C-alpha cells in the first residue's frame, strides 16, 4: 500500500466518523516554543488550552500534519527509526469523546479489512502500553477491545505521559505497537524490546496542564484543562514500512528512490557497510526535510530556521562527497523527493523551480566553503608535521567542524590520507562544551506557552466583533480592563491599560499591517490608543493611555480610528499587493513572499530569491506597480472557503494557519489575488504614487524591497527632484544632462587617481636599489624581507616585488614583502628562476608566513600572494622564512 493511500484511508476513516478534515498547517507557526511544528496537535493548541472554541461542528477534527524535529540531527541514519521530517496522522476530540472513543477509532482502522477502508493488520501482532495507574484505559483495551492482558503493559511517566516538553497541555497516553517478529529482537513486548515492537500510534488523553520542569518526568501538574480532550498521532512512515513489507522507513516508497539515485550519483552501494548506509540515509532524510522546509518558505541562513536548513543541505553534500560524488548533487536529490511527495502535497508542483534554485545556490556556496576548509586543513596538517607530531589537534578538528562545516569523519579521512591520527577525544570535548552552551541557550529560550489565561474568559465567551472593514467609528461597551497582566475594574488618568471591547472598528496587527491608532472617548474621558493586538485570533486588545477622566468596566464608549493613520496604512498594504504581483511578473513564480511590514506611507516586502535584482528589474517592478495604480483597478474582497480560494488561485502566506473560511483580496481580476485579512483602499488609484526605494539582502536566498506610498512617496520624489536641481546648479548643467556630466567627472577622477597610483608605484620602484641593500644571505639564497609603509596595496606589492626579483636575476634570490592596508596585511613572495631551480616554491613560503599572521594565500612557484590579519606576527614570520631557506 503506497503512502498516499495510507493517508487517504486515515482521513476517510475519521471523516466518516464525523470528524472535520483539517489541512496540514505550515511547518512555520508563530509559536514562542518552536522553530518548527513538531507534533500533530500544535495547530490545535489554543483549543486544548481553552483559549478558543474549536470551529468544528462535532467538536472533533482529523489532520495529517507535517512535522520536523531536529534535536538530534547527528543521530539521523545511525538508526533506521529516526527522521527529521515525518507525517503525523491524528484525530482530535475537544470534549466530544475520551478514552474509549480514541481507543475504538484507532483499533478499528488498524485492524479493519482493506475492503472496508482499514489497514488490515493482524490483531494478534498488536501490543499496547498504558500509564502506570491508568486502570480505565487498561480495562477498555482488555474488556471492550479484547486485547489479552498479557499484551497490555504499564509504563512510567517517561514513556506514557505526554507533554510538549514545556508548560502547556499534557496527560497520560496509551501507545500501540506492532510486533515485527523474532528476527527483529527478543520476545516480551515493548517493555523489553522497542525495536522488535515498533510504536505506530500514540493516544494522548489530554486532561492536565503542566508547569515548569526538565525532562520527560520531572515537571509539576498545575491543574486540569477546561475539557477532557483527545490528541492522537499515528506515524505515517512507520505504518508504511509495515504495510509495504520493508525493514524500515528508508525502504518505503517515499525515501528509497532517493537512495537509489544516490547510488547512481556516487557509485557506492547501499547495504554494503554501516558507515556508508548512514550517509545514504542522511541524504534521503535530509533531502525530504530540506525540500519541505523550502516549500514552506525557509531559506538558508546562519540563525534560527534558516540555520537548520543550511545544516541539513550541507550534510547532504558532505555525505554524497564521502560516498564518492564529485559534482553538484542536490538538484537530482530534490527532483526525486519532489516526485515522491507531490501526490500528497500537490502544492510542490508550483514551487519546483524555486526549491531547486534555493538548494543549488546553497550547494554551490558550500562547495566554495568546503574548498576553503580544505585549505585550512592543509595548513594545519603541515604545521602538525613540521613539529614532528603525528596527531591532528582535536581543537583544530572542532574549528573545521564549527567554522567550515567539516564533519569529524571527513577530517578523519583527510588526516589518514596525510598520515596523521586525530585527537578525537579533544574534538568530542570541544563538541561537548558547544552542546552544553547550546542546551543552556535553548533552555533559556523555552518560555513555555505564553500566559494568556487572563484573557481566556473573553476569548471563549465574548470575542470582539470587528467592524473596521466598513466603519471608522463604533459605539462599544468595555467588557474588560487589564493592567500589568491583571484584570481590573477601572483605570484613571495617566494609567496605561489594555481595553477589551465588545465591538471595535480598530484593526489589530496581523499580516504585516500594524495595528490602528485612535481614541476611546466617553463623557469627560479620553484614551489614546497606540496599538491593537489580537489574542487567540478572536479578541481585540486595545493598548491605551488614559489622557483624562477615568474608565470603568461596563461603561459605554465611542471608539474612533485615526482616519489619517488608517488611510496611510491601507494605501501601504494595498501597494504591497501590487508590488508582490509586479515582482512575480518580472521574476517569475519562484519569487514567493516571506514576510512584510506595512505602516502609513511605507511598506517592506521580503521574498525568497537567490539573486540580486538588477536596476532594470527594479525599474520594471516600479513601472508595473504604478501602471496598476494608474489603471484604477477595482479592489474586491470575497469571503469564501479555503478550498474555493485555492481554486481561484489565491496566494497564501507561509506561516499562517488559515481557518476553513478565509478572506480573499482581488485587485484588477487576475492581476493580484491573495488571502489577506488586512484593510485596503477601494481602488488602486487611491494608493497614489509608489516610490520603490531599492532592494537588499536579508539572508541567504532572501531579498527585501522597500517602498513609499501616497504622500510619503510624493515627498520622496520632491526631495529627489530638489537634489537633482541642486546638483544641476552646482555643476552648471541641465538636469537631463546630469548623468552624462557626472560620468565625465567620474572618468576624470579615475584618470587622476590612476596617474597618482602610477607615480606612487614609480616612487616605490625607485626605492628598490635601497631596499636591496637590506638583503641577507640565508644558505644558498639571497633573501630580502621587508615591511613597506602602511597603505601600500596588494597590487603595488606585486609591482615592487616583481621589480626587486628582476634586480636579483642571475642568482638564487627570494623577495618577501608586506604592508598594512586598513585592517588587512597583504604580503607577497617572489623567487628568481635560479631559486625555483633549487626547489623554492613561493606558494609554500606564503603558507608558512600565513601561519604567523593569521592569513591564507597561494600562487605559483615564482610568485605567490596572501593576506593576513595579525601584523604583530610578521617579524616572526619573516624569521621563519629565512630559517626555512637557510636550512635547504
Q: Which residues of the chain have pLDDT under 50?
A: 441-450, 654-655
C-alpha 493, offset from chain centre: 45
Residue 668 CA, chain-centre distance (Å), reads 33
Distance CA(678)–CA(572), nearest Å, equals 11
- Cβ distance 129 to 190 under 8 Å? yes
Q: So what's the pLDDT on residue 647?
A: 81
pTM passes above 0.75: no
Q: Distance between CA 823 and CA 867 in Å, rounded?
A: 10
Point out the annotated binding site for Zn(2+): 573, 577, 676, 680
Between the CA atoms of 74, 79, 80 and 82, what dihedral angle is there, to the nearest 10 degrees? -50
Q: Which residues are annotated as a binding site?
A: 573, 577, 676, 680
The predicted pLDDT at position 446 comes to 40
| List of long-range contacts for 627-630, beta carbons under 8 Å, 24+ apart | 628/578, 628/581, 628/582, 628/667, 628/668, 628/671, 628/684, 629/575, 629/578, 629/684, 629/685, 629/687, 629/688, 629/689, 629/690, 630/685
User: Residue 251: its pLDDT value, please?
Assistant: 94
Dist CA 379 CA 848 (whole Å): 8
Identify the burial level of 823 via C-beta atoms within 10 angstroms of its C-beta, where 0-12 means exposed, 13-18 middle and 19 or more buried: exposed
* Residues 754, 158: Cα–Cα separation, whole Å: 73
- Nearest to residue 784, comparing CAs of 821, 830, 827? 830
Instruction: Please choose, from the candidates 91, 82, 111, 108, the residue with its C-alpha nearest in 3D space to the C-alpha of residue 199.
Output: 82
- Which three three-digit cell numbers place residue 596? 512584510
Q: Is the dihedral of CA 106, 108, 112, 114 positive or negative?
A: negative
Q: What was the pLDDT predicted at 429?
A: 87
pLDDT in tens, 32-45: 567 898 888 888 88
- pLDDT at position 110: 97
Task: Give residue for cell 517602498.
Answer: 707
Strand, coil or helix: what is 633?
coil
Residue 160: which residues within 8 A CB-CB, separation 6 or more?
A: 129, 130, 131, 132, 134, 154, 172, 173, 174, 175
Centre a 10 Å sphere on the Cβ of residue 263 and count the other Cβ atoms it contains: 16
Dist. CA 821–CA 647, nearest whole Å: 61
For residues 235 and 201, the answer to whether their CB atoms sit within 8 Å is: yes
Q: Which domains does the chain have, with CATH numbers?
A: 3-248 (3.30.930.10), 255-367 (no CATH), 453-561 (2.40.30.130), 566-719 (3.30.980.10), 771-886 (3.10.310.40)
Q: Residue 241, CB half-sphere, CA atoms under 13 Å: how many?
A: 20
Amino acid at each position: 500500500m503506497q503512502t498516499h493511500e495510507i493517508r487517504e484511508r486515515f482521513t476517510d476513516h475519521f471523516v466518516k466518523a464525523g470528524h472535520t478534515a483539517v489541512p496540514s498547517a505550515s511547518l512555520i507557526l508563530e509559536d514562542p516554543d518552536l522553530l518548527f511544528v513538531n507534533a500533530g496537535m500544535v495547530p490545535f493548541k489554543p483549543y486544548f488550552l481553552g483559549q478558543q472554541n474549536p470551529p468544528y461542528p462535532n467538536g472533533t477534527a482529523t489532520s495529517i500534519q507535517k512535522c520536523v524535529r531536529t534535536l538530534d540531527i547527528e543521530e539521523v541514519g545511525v538508526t533506521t527509526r529516526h527522521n527529521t521530517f515525518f507525517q503525523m496522522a491524528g484525530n482530535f476530540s475537544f470534549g466530544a469523546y475520551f478514552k474509549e472513543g480514541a481507543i475504538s477509532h484507532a483499533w478499528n482502522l488498524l485492524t479493519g479489512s482493506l475492503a472496508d477502508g482499514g489497514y488490515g493488520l493482524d490483531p494478534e501482532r498488536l501490543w499496547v502500553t498504558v500509564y502506570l495507574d491508568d486502570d480505565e484505559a487498561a480495562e477498555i483495551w482488555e474488556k471492550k477491545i479484547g486485547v489479552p492482558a498479557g499484551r497490555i503493559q504499564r509504563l512510567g511517566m517517561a514513556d506514557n505521559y505526554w507533554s510538549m516538553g514545556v508548560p502547556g497541555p499534557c496527560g497520560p497516553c496509551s501507545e500501540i505497537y506492532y510486533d515485527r517478529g523474532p528476527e527483529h529482537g527478543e520476545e516480551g513486548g515493548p517493555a523489553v524490546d522497542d525495536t522488535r515492537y515498533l510504536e505506530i500510534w500514540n493516544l494522548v488523553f489530554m486532561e492536565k496542564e503542566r508547569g515548569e520542569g526538565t525532562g520527560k518526568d520531572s515537571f509539576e501538574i498545575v491543574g486540569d484543562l477546561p475539557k477532557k480532550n483527545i490528541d492522537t498521532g499515528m506515524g505515517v512512515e512507520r505504518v508504511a514500512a509495515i504495510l509495504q513489507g520493508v525493514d524500515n522507513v528508508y525502504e518505503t516508497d517515499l525515501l528509497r528512490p532517493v537512495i537509489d539515485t544516490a547510488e547512481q550519483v556516487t557509485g557506492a552501494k547501499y547495504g554494503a557497510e554501516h558507515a556508508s548506509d548512514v550517509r545514504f540515509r542522511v541524504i534521503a532524510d535530509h533531502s525530504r526535510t530540506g525540500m519541505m522546509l523550502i516549500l514552506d518558505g525557509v531559506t538558508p541562513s546562519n540563525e534560527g530556521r534558516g540555520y537548520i536548513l543550511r545544516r541539513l543541505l550541507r550534510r547532504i553534500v558532505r555525505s554524497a562527497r564521502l560516498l564518492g560524488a564529485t559534482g553538484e548533487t542536490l538538484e537530482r536529490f530534490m527532483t526525486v523527493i519532489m516526485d515522491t511527495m507531490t501526490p500528497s502535497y500537490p502544492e510542490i508542483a508550483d514551487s519546483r523551480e524555486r526549491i531547486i534554485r534555493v538548494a543549488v545556490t546553497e550547494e554551490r556556496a558550500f562547495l566554495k566553503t568546503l574548498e576553503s576548509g580544505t585549505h585550512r586543513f592543509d595548513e594545519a596538517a603541515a604545521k602538525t608535521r613540521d613539529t614532528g607530531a603525528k596527531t591532528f589537534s582535536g581543537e583544530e578538528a572542532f574549528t573545521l567542524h564549527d567554522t567550515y562545516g567539516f564533519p569529524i569523519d571527513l577530517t578523519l579521512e583527510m588526516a589518514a590520507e596525510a598520515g596523521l591520527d586525530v585527537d578525537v577525544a579533544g574534538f568530542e570535548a570541544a563538541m561537548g562544551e558547544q552542546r552544553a552552551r547550546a542546551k543552556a541557550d535553548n533552555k533559556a529560550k523555552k518560555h513555555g506557552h505564553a500566559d494568556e489565561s487572563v484573557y481566556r474568559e473573553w476569548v471563549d465567551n465574548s470575542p470582539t466583533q470587528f467592524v473596521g472593514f466598513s466603519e471608522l467609528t463604533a459605539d462599544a461597551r468595555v467588557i474588560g480592563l487589564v493592567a500589568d497582566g491583571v484584570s481590573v475594574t477601572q483605570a484613571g488618568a495617566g494609567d496605561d491599560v489594555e481595553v477589551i471591547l465588545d465591538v471595535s472598528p480598530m484593526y489589530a496587527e496581523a499580516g504585516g499591517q500594524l495595528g490602528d491608532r485612535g481614541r476611546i472617548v466617553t463623557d469627560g474621558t479620553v484614551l489614546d490608543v497606540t496599538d491593537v493586538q489580537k489574542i487567540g485570533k478572536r479578541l481585540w486588545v486595545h493598548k491605551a493611555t488614559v489622557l483624562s477622566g477615568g474608565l470603568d468596566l461596563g461603561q459605554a464608549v465611542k471608539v474612533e480610528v485615526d482616519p489619517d493613520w488608517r488611510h496611510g496604512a491601507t494605501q501601504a498594504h494595498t501597494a504591497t499587493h501590487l508590488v508582490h504581483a509586479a515582482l512575480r511578473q518580472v521574476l517569475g513564480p519562484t519569487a514567493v513572499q516571506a514576510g512584510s511590514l506595512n505602516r502609513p506611507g511605507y511598506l517592506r516586502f521580503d521574498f525568497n530569491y537567490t539573486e540580486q535584482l538588477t536596476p532594470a528589474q527594479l525599474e520594471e517592478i516600479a513601472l508595473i506597480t504604478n501602471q496598476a495604480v494608474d489603471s484604477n483597478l477595482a479592489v474586491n474582497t470575497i469571503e469564501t472557503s479555503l478550498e474555493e480560494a485555492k481554486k481561484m488561485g489565491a496566494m497564501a502566506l507561509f506561516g499562517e494557519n488559515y481557518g476553513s473560511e478565509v478572506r480573499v483580496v482581488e485587485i484588477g481580476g487576475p492581476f493580484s489575488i491573495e488571502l489577506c485579512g488586512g484593510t485596503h483602499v477601494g481602488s488602486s488609484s487611491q494608493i497614489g504614487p509608489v516610490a520603490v526605494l531599492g532592494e537588499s539582502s536579508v539572508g541567504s536566498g532572501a531579498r527585501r524591497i522597500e517602498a513609499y506610498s501616497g504622500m510619503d512617496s510624493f515627498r520622496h520624489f520632491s526631495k529627489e527632484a530638489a537634489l537633482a536641481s541642486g546638483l544641476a546648479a552646482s555643476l552648471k548643467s541641465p538636469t537631463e544632462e546630469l548623468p552624462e556630466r557626472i560620468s565625465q567627472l567620474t572618468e576624470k577622477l579615475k584618470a587622476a587617481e590612476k596617474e597618482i597610483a602610477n607615480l606612487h608605484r614609480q616612487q616605490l620602484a625607485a626605492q628598490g636599489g635601497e631596499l636591496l641593500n637590506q638583503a641577507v644571505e640565508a644558505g644558498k639564497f639571497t633573501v630580502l624581507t621587508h615591511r613597506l609603509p602602511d597603505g601600500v596595496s596588494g597590487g603595488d606589492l606585486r609591482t615592487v616585488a616583481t621589480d626587486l626579483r628582476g634586480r636579483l636575476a642571475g642568482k638564487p634570490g627570494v623577495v618577501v614583502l608586506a604592508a598594512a592596508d586598513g585592517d588587512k596585511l597583504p604580503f607577497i613572495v617572489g623567487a628568481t628562476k635560479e631559486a625555483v631551480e633549487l626547489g623554492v616554491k613561493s606558494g609554500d613560503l606564503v603558507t608558512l608566513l600565513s601561519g604567523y599572521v593569521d592569513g591564507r594565500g597561494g600562487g605559483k612557484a615564482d610568485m605567490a600572494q596572501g593576506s593576513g590579519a595579525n601584523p604583530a606576527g610578521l617579524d616572526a614570520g619573516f624569521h621563519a622564512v629565512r630559517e626555512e631557506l637557510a636550512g635547504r
